[in-house]
């Protein structure tokens, strides 16, 4: 599935990589042996050779017509992704990646200059990995395409495992394995003379702030950008589905997709995961997303709405299925159950493309940091009247108490240590690292990340402060595992994930819009609510509570308790799992399980984050070691 190649290595290394990457039979496989370089593509990947340059491309180009005009290409010329990349490279050199918009992994080998360039787009839905030794290099769109070569070992990188368990942003090029490196999103890696140079070509922090005269202009700009992002992810002849929750992001994407498909005489299949037995309501949350999703689906006659039970598969069965397609630890065990359920239902209906909206919280439906980001910025600029006005609007727009508003103000301006101390004195201590993680403290110390991990404590605001742009970019960076998930979904279910909320043009627009637009009149997510009027039903737009994914997770977890106890016991058979995971604590959590009917919210982090992440990390370790059976 994708592209692979090598320089300075036998051609059989690429033959083996292609065998590991391809889905089913070798569709469209191309292999070239250009003296000391061998390159291949399978499935939808493409490779082109002209003179002394080889171009390889895996993914989708969304601004193809714009590129063709800029390159003055004739009809029929450069008909695939590799052909367009090659033409762009000849015109713009290494800057060509900045001009290509879409989800992609791309490689250019300039044989004359003996220079290899590898790049991925900022959205991180396509991955690209490489291994090198001296004057030899091997690359592939999945790590399994490298492991077929005997010299590429699967030795764990302890520091990166520590960072993952502590929910820290990882070093850009490192993976979980020593010697295996990756091309980070929005970067290119240049390899020449056996040396590697990393270039960050996407710099969203430099996007200038946008200033319009009217609020309506921001609404129109966002709506147009989202419409374009959805439109370029809908291709002729494809069967389109969408993941539809009860929230603003998936509702907006689904509604716009339905409108565009209706204009083409086509339908959309929307999938909603819902609990069979909804649990009771929770503060500021709704636990059954089906009524909101159904209201959206009912507004568009061309939507076929499919309900999927949250608990359709036992927890560990769902986890094992997803692990088979991933070369990375699974992030969230409980969510795997309903996501796999949606993917199975989509495969049964021959859906080839699934629209998602996973990054809306960092882009189009940003909540203004609950007001803290905006207040912090005003205080930094010395605009104290503006900060007081914002706090007053928050009081009216959210209904919070004045004490809660004072807490937002204090969080926004106080240093981390002072903020933590004051919260502890007030009897409301902040959640710490070990509330979220089952990592062993001594392992963090040996890995050299203990001090940083305890400072960040799984809260990105402790990295970015109350700088809204830095915070959102940190969130996008920490969730770049989504490419692993997307590749696994395609491998397991034959479904390509496309996310309009990761469209580069949309992301840059949203980062450029002033915070005040996201929190107008003290209403969180104000901009998307206003922009989607008349498109998304009012019942969705007016709902200020947030939907709860897998709200009935306790039932599936409870049914899995005996098997989970056995899983944790097996972790003791792995020296590395014993070294990095607090297995004793995980055993205590199993023993203290309060049952499926518990309404205590205080234990959710312990089970959904600390235990779950420890479980998936441990199973990943044992699978790599060959111990999962």
pLDDT (tens digit, 9 = 90+) per residue, 508-557? Answer: 999 999 988 998 988 889 999 999 999 999 999 999 888 888 889 999 99
Three-state SS for 285? strand
Burial class (CB in 10 A: 0-12, 13-18, 19+), 147: buried
Torsion of CA 57, 60, 65, 67, to 10 degrees: -40
Listed residue (112, 284, 246, 95) closest to 192, CA to CA: 112
Q: What DSSP line would sit under 125-178, residue for residue?
A: -S--EEEEETTEEEEESSTHHHHTSTT----B-HHHHHHHHTTPPPPTTB-SBT
The predicted model gives 436-465 an average pLDDT of 91
Rounded to a whole number of angstroms, the CA Rg of the chain reads: 25
Instruction: Using alpha carbons only, give the angle 98, 104, 110 rounded to the nearest 5 degrees.
Output: 65
Q: What DSSP line would sit under 171-236, residue for residue?
A: PTTB-SBTTEEE--TTEEEEEETTEEEEEE---GGGPPPP--SSHHHHHHHHHHHHHHHHHTT--T
Phi, psi dihedral angles at 484 (to 5 degrees): -60, -40
Higher pLDDT, 84 or 33: 84
pLDDT of 596: 87
pLDDT of 110: 93
pLDDT-derived band at 25, boundaries 50, 70, 90: low
> Which residue do the tokens 């036998």 mark?
10
Per DSSP, 592 falls in state T
Three-state SS for 61? strand
* Residues in contact with 66: Cβ distance below 8 Å, sequence separation at least 6, in sequence order: none
CATH topology (fold) of 206-276+283-364+479-545: Rossmann fold (3.40.50)
Most confident by average pLDDT, 17-26, 241-250, 475-484: 241-250
* Residues in contact with 531: Cβ distance below 8 Å, sequence separation at least 6, in sequence order: 218, 219, 220, 222, 223, 226, 364
Do 2-202 and 206-276+283-364+479-545 come out as alike in CATH topology?
no
**In 519-611, which residue ranges form alpha helices assigned H by DSSP?**
526-531, 538-541, 553-559, 561-571, 575-580, 583-591, 604
Tokens at residue 223, please?
């709506």
Torsion of CA 183, 184, 188, 194, to 10 degrees: -40
C-beta separation of 180 from 121 below 8 A: no
Three-state SS for 569? helix
- For 443, left (φ over 0), alpha (ψ -120 to 50), or beta? alpha
Query: Quick check: 30 pLDDT over 80?
Result: no
Mean pLDDT over all residues of the chain? 91
pLDDT above 70: percentage of residues in the chain: 96
pLDDT-derived band at 437, boundaries 50, 70, 90: very high
Q: Give how far Cα 363 sits from Cα of 6, 98, 207, 357, Å.
A: 37, 20, 14, 10
CATH classification code of 2-202: 3.60.20.10
* Angstrom distance (rounded) from CA 580 to CA 67: 48
Residue 273, CB-side half-sphere exposure with 13 Å CA sphere: 26
Burial class (CB in 10 A: 0-12, 13-18, 19+), 101: buried
Listed residue (502, 474, 495) closest to 124, CA to CA: 502
* Angstrom distance (rounded) from CA 134 to CA 417: 46
- For 8, left (φ over 0), alpha (ψ -120 to 50), or beta? left
Higher pLDDT, 601 or 384: 384
Tokens at residue 549, please?
């994914």
Listed residue (137, 127, 230, 249) closest to 183, CA to CA: 127
The predicted model gives 271-284 an average pLDDT of 85
pLDDT of 34: 59
Burial class (CB in 10 A: 0-12, 13-18, 19+), 264: exposed
Query: Quick check: 27 pLDDT over 60?
Result: no
The predicted model gives 396-425 an average pLDDT of 75
Q: What DSSP line would sit under 246-263, residue for residue?
A: SSHHHHHHHHHHHHHHHH
> Which residue do the tokens 């404590």 mark?
457
Tokens at residue 351, please?
């859906």
* Angstrom distance (rounded) from CA 356 to CA 249: 9
Instruction: Using alpha carbons only, give the angle 40, 42, 44 rounded to the nearest 5 degrees.
Output: 125
Three-state SS for 49? strand
The predicted model gives 4-20 an average pLDDT of 89
82-119 per-position pLDDT tens digit: 999 999 999 999 999 999 999 999 999 998 999 999 99
* Angstrom distance (rounded) from CA 592 to CA 285: 26
- Domain parsing of the chain, residue ranges: 2-202, 206-276+283-364+479-545, 370-477, 560-625
* Angstrom distance (rounded) from CA 165 to CA 445: 13
DSSP lists the bridge partners of residue 198 as: 189
Strands 195-200 and 240-243: unpaired
* Angstrom distance (rounded) from CA 276 to CA 253: 25
353-388 per-position pLDDT tens digit: 999 999 999 999 998 767 777 777 777 777 778 777
Query: Quick check: 453 pLDDT over 70?
Result: yes
DSSP lists the bridge partners of residue 268 as: 303
pLDDT of 629: 45
C-beta separation of 581 from 614 below 8 A: yes
C-beta separation of 274 from 286 below 8 A: no
């Amino acid at each position: 599935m994708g592209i692979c190649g090598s320089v300075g290595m036998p051609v059989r290394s690429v033959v083996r990589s292609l065998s590991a990457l391809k889905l089913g039979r070798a569709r469209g496989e191309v292999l070239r042996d250009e003296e000391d370089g061998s390159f291949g593509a399978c499935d939808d990947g493409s490779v082109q050779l002209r003179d002394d340059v080889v171009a390889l491309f895996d993914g989708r180009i969304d601004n193809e017509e714009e590129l063709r005009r800029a390159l003055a290409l004739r009809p029929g010329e450069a008909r695939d992704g590799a052909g367009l990349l090659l033409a762009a490279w000849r015109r713009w050199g290494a800057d060509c990646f900045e001009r290509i918009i879409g989800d992609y992994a791309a490689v250019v080998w300039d044989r004359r200059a003996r220079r290899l360039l590898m790049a991925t787009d900022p959205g991180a839905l396509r991955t690209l990995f490489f291994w090198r030794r001296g004057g030899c290099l091997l690359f592939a769109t999945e790590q399994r395409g490298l492991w077929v070569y005997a010299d590429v070992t699967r030795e764990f990188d302890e520091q990166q495992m520590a960072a993952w368990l502590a929910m820290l942003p990882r070093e850009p090029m490192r993976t979980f394995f020593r010697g295996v490196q990756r091309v980070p999103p929005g970067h290119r890696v240049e390899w020449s003379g056996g040396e590697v140079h990393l270039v960050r070509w996407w710099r969203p922090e430099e996007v200038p702030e946008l200033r319009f005269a009217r609020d309506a202009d921001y609404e129109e700009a966002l709506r147009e950008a989202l419409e374009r992002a959805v439109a370029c992810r809908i291709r002729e002849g494809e069967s389109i589905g969408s993941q539809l929750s009860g929230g603003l992001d998936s509702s907006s994407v689904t509604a716009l997709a339905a409108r565009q498909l209706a204009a083409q005489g086509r339908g959309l299949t929307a999938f909603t995961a819902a609990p069979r037995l909804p649990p009771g309501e929770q503060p500021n949350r709704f636990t059954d997303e089906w009524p909101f999703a159904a209201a959206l689906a009912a507004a568009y006659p061309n939507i076929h709405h499919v309900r999927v039970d949250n608990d359709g598969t036992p927890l560990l069965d769902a986890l094992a299925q997803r692990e088979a397609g991933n070369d990375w630890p699974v992030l969230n065990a409980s969510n795997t159950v309903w996501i796999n359920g949606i993917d199975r239902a989509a495969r049964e209906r021959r859906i080839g493309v699934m629209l998602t909206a996973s990054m809306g919280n960092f882009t189009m439906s940003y909540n203004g940091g609950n007001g803290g980001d905006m207040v912090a910025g005003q205080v930094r600029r010395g605009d104290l009247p503006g900060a007081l006005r914002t706090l007053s609007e928050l009081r009216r727009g959210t209904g919070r108490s004045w004490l809660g508003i004072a807490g937002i103000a204090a969080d926004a301006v106080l240093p981390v240590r002072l903020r933590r101390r004051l919260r502890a004195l007030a009897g409301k201590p902040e959640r710490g690292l070990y509330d979220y993680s089952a990592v062993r403290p001594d392992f963090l110390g040996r890995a050299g990340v203990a001090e940083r991990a305890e400072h960040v404590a799984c809260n990105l605001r402790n990295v970015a402060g109350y700088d809204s742009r830095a915070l959102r970019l940190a969130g996008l960076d920490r969730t770049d595992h989504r490419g692993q998930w997307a590749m696994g979904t395609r491998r397991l279910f034959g479904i390509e994930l496309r996310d309009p909320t990761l469209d580069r043009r949309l992301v840059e627009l949203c980062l450029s819009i002033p915070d005040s637009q996201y929190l107008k009149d003290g209403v969180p997510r104000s901009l998307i609510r206003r922009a989607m009027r008349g498109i998304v039903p009012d019942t969705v737009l007016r709902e200020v509570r947030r939907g709860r994914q897998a709200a009935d997770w306790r039932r599936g977890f409870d049914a899995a308790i005996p098997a989970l106890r056995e899983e944790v016991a097996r972790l003791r058979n792995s020296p590395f799992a014993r070294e990095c995971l607090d297995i004793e604590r995980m055993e205590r959590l199993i023993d203290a399980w309060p049952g499926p009917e518990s309404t205590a919210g205080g234990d959710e982090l312990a089970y959904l984050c600390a235990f779950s992440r420890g479980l998936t990390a441990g199973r990943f370790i044992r699978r790599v070691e060959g111990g999962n059976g």
